[in-house]
Amino acid sequence: MTDPLDAWLDGGAAPPRSVIKEAVKESLAALAETAPGHSVEVRVVPYAAIQCIEGPRHTRGTPPNTVECDARTWLGLATGRLNWTDAVRSGTVSASGSRAAEVADHLPLR
């Protein structure tokens, strides 16, 4: 039997919101563990956001280095189904700031 999340990432019907939320939170936690720090904020709207990548800590307002995308895009990147460069080029990933692209160095997640 195919995992509903895998089927969705491969173009099928969306699984329950709770399944997507859990997958996003787990994958962002894995990124934070792999690339600890506070210099880049990764936002997967509307599910979660983390700070990662070693460097200066940002505490107020919008961080200068941000990555933002939807859940399907993030999980595609995290699993290696989607390429960072292609996602940025197509606009499905918004990466702003000089350090945002460093997130790509940690994808796909292991």
CA dist list (Å): 29 to 52, 72, 97: 10, 17, 22
- To the question of domain 4-106 being in CATH 3.30.1050.40, the answer is yes
The residues, any chain, with a CB within 8 Å of residue 45's CB and separated by 6 or more, are 68, 69, 70
Contact 66, 97 (CB under 8 A): yes
With beta carbons less than 8 A apart as the criterion, state whether 47 and 21 touch: yes
Are 82 and 109 contacting, i.e. CB atoms less than 8 angstroms apart?
no
Token pair listed for 75: 């999980």
Does position 2 have pLDDT exceeding 70, yes or no?
no
What would the pLDDT profile of 37-75 be if each residue is shown by its tens digit? Answer: 999 999 999 999 999 999 877 667 777 899 999 999 999
**Is residue 1 over pLDDT 60?**
no
pLDDT tens column, 23-47:
999 999 999 999 999 999 999 999 9
Q: What is the rounded CA–CA span in Å between residue 54 and residue 62?
A: 18
DSSP bridge pairs for 70: 45
The answer to whether the peptide bond before residue 108 is cis (omega within 30 degrees of 0) is: yes
CB atoms within 10 A of CB 107: 21
Domain ranges of the chain: 4-106
